[in-house]
Amino acid sequence: MIVEFLLNGEPATARIVSPVSLLDVLRDQLELPGSKNACEQGECGSCSVVLDGEIVCSCLVMAADVGDSEVVTVEGIGGDGLTPVQRAMHHSGAVQCGFCTPGIVVVAADLFARNPNPTTLEIKEALAGNICRCTGYGAIIRSFEKLARETS
Amino acid sequence: MTAPSRVRPARVAGGVGDSTLRPDGIPKLEGSFEYAQDLWQEGALWGATTRSPHAHARIVAVDVSPALSIGGVHAVLTADDVPGSPTFGLEHSDQPVLASDVINYWGEPVALVAAEDRDTARRAAAAVKVRYEILEPLTDPGEADTRDEAFRRIRIRRGDQEASGPVVVEGYYETAMQDQAPLGTEAGLAVPDGQGGVDLFATSQFLHVDHEQVVASLGLSADQVRAHPTGIGGAFGSREDVNLHIHLCMLALRTGQPVKMVYDRSESFTGHVHRHPARMWYRHEANRDGTLARVEARILLDGGAYASTTPAVLANASYFAVGPYKCDSVAVDGVGTRTNNPPCGAMRGFGAVQVCFAYETQMDRLADALSMDPIELRRKNALTTGDHFATTGQIIETPLPTVEVLESLAAMPLPADSESDLLPGGSGLTTEARHVMRGIGYAIGIKNLGFSEGFDDYSQARVRLAGSGAVVETAAIEVGQGLVTVLAQIARTALGISDVTVEHVDTSRIDSAGSTSASRQTQVSGGAVLKAATTLRDRILHHHDGDDLTDQGVLRNGDVIVTMGELVADDWQETATFRHPPTTAPDEYGQGKLHADFAVAGHRAVVDVDPELGLVRVIRVDTAQDVGKALNPEAVLGQIEGGIMQGVGLAVMEELVVEEGIIRNPNFTDYLLPTILDAPDVEALLIEEDGSWGPFGAKGVGEPPTISSTAAVAAAIRAATGKAIERVPVRPQDIAL
Ligand code: FES
Ligand code: FES
């Protein structure tokens, strides 16, 4: 089956022959490897994308179901240069191995779009579904606290 | 955190002492950084592995025909297809590349498949028909000890074995099996070179030793195989051993096509080694003034089915069994057992974590028995430079600021009683604030830096002028820790040039950098970069009779006499190998100069406990850590916070549950990892001092944060609840029942 949808603002077409997740289609077929697969169970948030305005784990979304939807991946965040969320992370040591990073960028960009100066607890709640094994979260929290202060 | 003093004036932008930003930060943030999972080549096949569903069995017959008959399957390989050495291993070659006769652990690989797409490969792997005769697994490590199924035994005897003290505490402690759980699973791509050789791009921590094992099992010559560094999503010890490396190369050579393999999360749990579960019996005897008169310990680590690094992990657990304390009468007996449990090996802290939980619990109990302040007891016994190490007798020659770590930790401000944004149980509103019990616990720990016991621990690096500055070449593996940043910083400061990049190169282009483990790369590979860069600068200045080297080129009396462009055109380069101070093998009593360097760190944990449901929330973990010199303070803090989180994980949630040799929770739903809501606030004091042999006085910082953070959290839970807490992770039933 052919699925057509809007991907990072451009029309995209996926050819689906077996039950397959949106994550696999993004990574294997549409050459957007930025979304990461770390659990395939909806537990880690590494595969987070925006689907019709909502954050979802793309590993849990069937690709066949995204017809006519709008999908934004990490590759669709920002354009030329880093967005404030990315810059904040870069300058606060919030990236180590970086495997969790695309998912965190997608979720944090969504958070700041809705709420430009979130409290620490709001930051933590927004990112509660994103596991990072490297940083212990300290630098991630600091980077977004700083960004929230700057935008307030 | 408190900003440490700079190592020296940062004459060069981005030199040591600066919190230089990661060079790979932007691609990682944009999603364009290429990880092993993302590699692809036109025409590549997908590989998959058939694994044993039994922990112990005899293979009666393997029938690959059902798999081969599936359309799109290009090859199905079994043990008979291994061209060279049928076994591999990091220290002992005892693990079959593919099981041929007996299965020794659940998930052991039996067959390999290459097919045109991933689903077909997985389906074919499941279609391989293996007839097993199920055998009774040996899963009780105590029983294995009795039957003398041991990878290694260590016997340490130091000082007067009749010594005793009037105040005695005894205890038995256990720690569970922990998983490194790096977010990136095992992955790689093998590409045949068309001349019988192969290029391997796979997740790794130790490129040259992967290469050695791959070459041996492929039966090729060393130059026919090139192991390449690749983008890696965390490691924490899990990538020190070979897993899919030989498999990928076998499939690529057999099919003549590139082959890609990516483990899914559940396969990853069987595809790498874990932190050894431990059983530890301790007896401390002290004089009335609190000085340790004698320490006895018996330590059992279960190594599981194959050796991996069990002998070295056991050595660490045994040699660090007393902790950072002086004691002149010591007896330690350690055993690393062989069972049919999942193989265990390297994980951040490498044996020092388990014993720290035990000896620090003992120290608290001893303080209690002595009616002494636990900090005062630790201070009184603190090991420092010039002392004999309690177990091995080695005199500590490098700086060891144990007392400073303790005192600065105790002096750090505590949070207000009410300070916490969440209750135990999070937003579940499981209890009311007035029922929550708060506890505070301290622990300190010690670990060796670099390889020990006479191992020839070296790293090679090359520094060459290129582009508009310099390039550092190394085979040292960047796993996320920031080596790529710090090696460039070292080269900048040593050369006087700010434009420096790091290039991770394959095994054919440079000698080994050793493993990204034992907190050693900053010290050992950093040492090699410092040596190469310093020599290169000296040679250039000498050759041109200059007095300074800068981004402009060679200067004499402030004038540029040779431009950087001219220098680059002359192809200046220098290759250097750095070795850390030599160590010796232990004698029959475990005595000798076994370790090249040590680091101490201390943690103070504050926890809130819901005593009815047994839920714990770790509010803060403050720390003081001996870092030698912080070459990149922000990166050091990142290691500290990440390491503490893994220590907190082991204290309150992380446990691989193994029953009859089978892992019951090999997924992220059931193996709990700390989330951002579990993250404690961390205040970190970096204790700096001169005198370490690392570049600019740096010490490794990766492991010390995990050593005593677990013990500190356990102590805090004990303080909050009054429960004995003799096992980690602490489960709700350990508190509420
Ligand atoms: S890969 Fe989708 S949540 Fe982990
Ligand atoms: S940076 Fe490695 S998992 Fe977050």
Tens digits of per-residue pLDDT, B447-470? 999 999 999 999 999 999 999 999
Domain of residue A47, residue span = 2-76
Helix pair angle (A138-151, B633-652), 10° resolution: 120
Residues in chain A closer than 8 A to B682 (CB atoms): 136, 138
User: Which value, to the nearest 10 degrees, does the dihedral of the CA atoms of residues A53, A56, A61, A66 take?
Assistant: 10
Contact call for residues B77 and B26 (beta carbons, < 8 A): no
Residue-wise burial string across B451-461, b where 16 or more C-beta atoms lie within 10 A, e elsewhere: bbbebebbbbb
Q: Tokens 């130790």 map to which residue?
A: B206
Number of Cβ atoms within 10 Å of the Cβ of B372: 18
CB of B538 closer than 8 Å to CB of B572: no
In terms of CA atoms, which chain B residue is nearest residue A17? B119
* CB B177, CB B141: distance < 8 Å: no
Q: What is the mean pLDDT of residues B13-25?
A: 96
Q: Give the domain CATH number at A49.
A: 3.10.20.30
Contact in structure between A15 and B154 (CB atoms under 8 Å):
no
Alpha carbon distance B681, A145 (integer Å): 13
- Domain B37-136+180-271 in the same topology as domain B25-33+458-579: no
pLDDT tier for residue A118 given thresholds of 50, 70 and 90: very high
Share of residues in chain B with pLDDT > 90 (%): 94
Give the pLDDT score at A151.
80
Residue A38 near ligand 1, beta carbon < 6 Å = yes
pLDDT score of A79: 76
Look up the ipTM and state it.
0.98
Q: How confident is the model at residue B423 (pLDDT cuts 50, 70, 90)?
A: confident
For residue A23, give the H/E element and its range. helix A22-24
Nearest CA to B249 among B289, B199, B290, B285? B199
Residues in chain A within 8 Å Cβ distance of B681: 138
Q: Is B592 helix (H, G, I), strand (E, B) or coil?
A: coil
Q: Is the CB of A97 under 6 A from ligand 2?
A: yes
* CATH T-level fold of B25-33+458-579: Aldehyde Oxidoreductase; domain 4 (3.30.365)
Number of domains in chain A: 2
Between the CA of B493 and the centroid of ligand 2 the distance, in Å, is 28
Q: Helices (DSSP H) in B206-275: which residue ranges? A: 207-218, 245-255, 265-271
- pLDDT exceeds 70 at position B495: yes
Q: B277 is written with which tokens?
A: 């579960």
Q: Kindly indicate the confidence band of residue B710, based on its pLDDT and cuts at 50, 70 and 90.
A: very high
Establish whether residue A46 lines the binding site of ligand 1, counting it when its CB lies within 6 angstroms of any ligand atom.
yes
Please tell me whether residues A111 and A71 are part of one structural domain: no
For residues B169-183, b (16+ Cβ closer than 10 Å) or e, as one string? bebebebbbbbbbbb
Predicted TM-score of the model (pTM): 0.97
Looking at residue A115, which CATH number applies to its domain? 1.10.150.120
Burial string for B199-212 (b: 16+ CB within 10 Å, else e) reads bbbbbbbbbbbbbb
Q: Pick the residue of B20, B28, B275 with the most A CBs within 10 A to test the interface with A by mutation.
A: B28
Q: What is the pLDDT of residue B10?
A: 40
The stretch A19-33 carries a mean pLDDT of 96
Same structural domain, A30 and A49: yes
Same domain, A101 and A142: yes
**Which two tokens mark B732?**
């709700």
Cβ-based neighbour number of residue B89 at 10 Å: 17
Q: For residues B117 and B623, give the distance between their C-alpha atoms in angstroms, rounded to a whole number.
A: 49
Instruction: Scan for tokens 């002492």, then name that residue.
Output: B17
Q: Which residue of chain A is at minimal alpha-carbon distance from B262?
A: A37
B626-643 pLDDT, tens digit per residue, is: 999 999 999 999 999 999
Contact A33 B421 (CB under 8 A): no
Give rounded-to-5 percent helix, strand, coil for chain A.
Answer: 40, 20, 40
Instruction: Report how far residue B126's alpha carbon sits from residue B100's, in angstroms, rounded to the nearest whole number.
Output: 18
The alpha carbon of A99 and the centre of ligand 1 are apart by a number of angstroms equal to 11
Question: At B661, is the pLDDT very low, low, confident or very high (cuts 50, 70, 90)?
Answer: very high
Distance B554 CA to ligand 1 centre (A): 53
Question: Pocket of ligand 2, candidates B183, B203, B485, B676: which has the most ligand atoms within 8 Å of its Cβ, to mutate?
Answer: B183
B30 touches chain A (CB under 8 A): yes
Structural domain ending residue among the three candidates A48, A76, A104 = A76
| Closest to A130 in 3D by CA, of A121, A117, A140, A118 | A140
Query: Count of CB contacts below 8 A, A vs B?
Result: 179
Q: For residue B428, give every residue at least 6 positions away whose Cβ sits within 8 Å of its Cβ, in sequence order, or none.
A: none
Evaluate if residue B1 carries a pLDDT over 60. no
Search chain A and give the residue with CA nearest B348.
A134
pLDDT in tens, B477-489: 999 999 999 999 9
Q: How far is B345 from chain A (nearest CA, A)?
A: 19
Asked whether residue B5 carries a pLDDT value surpassing 80, the answer given is no
Q: How far is the CA of B233 from the centre of ligand 1 (A)?
A: 14
- Give the separation between CA B320 and CA B378, rounded to whole angstroms: 16
- Indicate whether residue A61 lines ligand 1 (CB < 6 A): no
Question: Are A62 and A93 in the same domain?
Answer: no
Q: Is A134 in the pocket of ligand 2 (CB under 6 A)?
A: yes
Residue nearest to atom 3 of ligand 2 (CA): A132
| Cis-peptide into B729, omega within 30 deg | yes
B32 in contact with chain A, both atoms CB, cutoff 8 A = yes
Is there a contact between B534 and B481 (Cβ–Cβ < 8 Å)? Answer: no
Cα B705 to Cα A103, B647, B651: the distances in Å are 26, 8, 13
Residue B8 has pLDDT above 80, yes or no: no
In tens, the pLDDT along B570-587 reads: 999 999 999 999 999 999
Instruction: Indicate the pLDDT class of residue B422, thresholds 50, 70 and 90.
Output: confident
Confidence of residue B427 (pLDDT cuts 50, 70, 90): low
Q: How far is the CA of A104 from the centre of ligand 2 (A)?
A: 10
Q: Is the pLDDT of residue B6 over 50?
A: no
pLDDT confidence band for B419 (50 / 70 / 90): low
Mean pLDDT of A60-72: 97
- Collapsed DSSP state (helix, strand, coil) of residue B149: coil
Mean pLDDT across the stretch B671-689?
A: 97
Let me know: does B51 contact B108? Beta carbons within 8 Å: yes
Residue B94's CB: how many other CB atoms inside 10 A? 16
The 3-state DSSP class for residue A149 equals: helix
- A91 in the same domain as A49: no
Nearest-neighbour CA in chain A from B22: distance (Å): 8
In 3-state terms, chain B is what percent helix, strand and coil (to 5)?
A: 30, 30, 45
pLDDT at B426: 67
Atom of ligand 2 nearest to the CA of A95: 1
Residue at a domain's end among A76, A102, A121: A76
Return the bridge partners of B461, or none: B576
> B235, B202 in Cβ contact below 8 A?
no
Beta-carbon contacts of B14 under 8 Å, excluding residues fewer than 6 positions away, are B20, B488, B489, B492, B498, B500
Final residue in a domain of this structure, among A21, A48, A76: A76
Domain boundaries, chain B: 25-33+458-579, 37-136+180-271, 278-452+587-736
Write the pLDDT tens digit of every residue in B305-339: 999 999 999 999 999 999 999 999 999 999 999 99
Rounded to whole angstroms, how far apart are CA atoms B645 and B328?
A: 34
Pocket test for ligand 2, best of A36, A97, A137 (most atoms within 8 A of CB): A97
Structure tokens at A3: 């699925």
**A47 CB near ligand 1 (under 6 Å):** yes
Give the list of residues 6+ apart from residue A113 with CB closer than 8 angstroms, or none. Answer: none
Q: What is the residue whose two structure tokens read 């992770």?
A: B729
Q: Which residues pair with B502 in a beta bridge?
A: B472
Does the beta carbon of A22 sit less than 6 angstroms from any atom of ligand 1?
no
CA–CA separation, B251 vs B217, rounded Å? Answer: 13
Does the CB of B673 have a partner CB in chain A at under 8 Å?
yes
Q: Do A38 and B183 touch (CB under 8 A)?
A: yes
**Shared-domain flag, residues A24 and A88:** no
Beta strands in A65-123 (DSSP E): 70-72
Judging by beta carbons within 10 Å of its beta carbon (0-12, 13-18, 19+), is residue A28 exposed, middle or buried? middle
- Enumerate residues 516 to 555 of chain B having a beta carbon within 8 A of any beta carbon in chain A: none
- Distance between CA atoms of residues B487 and B477, nearest Å: 12
Residue B9 reports pLDDT greater than 80:
no
What type of residue is B684?
A
CATH code for the domain defined by B37-136+180-271: 3.90.1170.50
Confidence of residue B11 (pLDDT cuts 50, 70, 90): confident
Would you give the DSSP letter of residue B274?
B
CB contact under 8 A, B641 and A105: no
- The reply to whether ligand 1 has any atom less than 6 angstroms from the CB of A45 is yes
Ligand 1 near A130 CB (within 6 A): no
Identify which of A75, A91, A133 has the shortest CB distance to residue B234. A133
Which residues from chain B sit within 8 angstroms of residue A39, using beta carbons?
Answer: 265, 667-668
Q: Are A52 and A100 members of one domain? A: no
Largest interatomic CA distance in chain A: 48
Task: Say if CB B619 and CB B607 are below 8 A apart.
Answer: yes
In which order are the strands placed within the sheet that holds B458-466? B500-504, B469-474, B458-466, B573-579
What is the per-residue pLDDT across B126-140, written as a single tens digit (0 to 9) for each?
999 999 999 999 999
From B394, B323, B330, B392, select the one nearest B165 (Cα to Cα).
B330
Q: Which residues does B516 contact at the CB level (< 8 Å), separation at least 6?
A: B205, B206, B235, B476, B477, B478, B479, B481, B483
If you classify domain B278-452+587-736 with CATH, what class do you get? alpha beta
Statement to judge: residues A62 and A115 lie in one domain:
no
What 3 state SS string does B380-440 have? HHECCCCCECCCCCCECCCCCCHHHHHHHHHHCCCCCCCCCCCCCCHHHCCCCHHHCEEEE
- Identity of the amino acid at B352: A
Min CA distance, A36 vs chain B (Å)?
A: 8
B611 touches chain A (CB under 8 A): no
Whether the per-residue pLDDT at B615 is higher than 70: the answer is yes
3-state secondary structure of B359: helix
Both A89 and A106 in a single domain? yes
Say yes or no for a CB contact (<8 Å) between B30 and A127: no
Name the residue in chain B with its Cα closest to that of A37. B184
Based on the fold, state whether residues A46 and A66 are members of the same structural domain. Answer: yes
- Name the DSSP letter for residue A60: G
C-alpha torsion angle, residues B723, B726, B730, B733 (rounded to 10)? -60
With a 6 Å cutoff on the Cβ, whether A106 touches ligand 1 is: no
Whether residues A50 and A90 share a domain: the answer is: no
CA distance A106 to chain B (A): 10
Q: From the CB of A33, is ligand 1 less than 6 Å away? A: no
CB contact under 8 A, B183 and A32: no
Q: Are B617 and B422 in contact (CB under 8 A)?
A: yes
3 state SS of A81:
strand
Instruction: Give the model's pLDDT for residue B429.
Output: 61
Mean pLDDT of B205-233: 98
CB neighbourhood size of B434 (10 A): 5
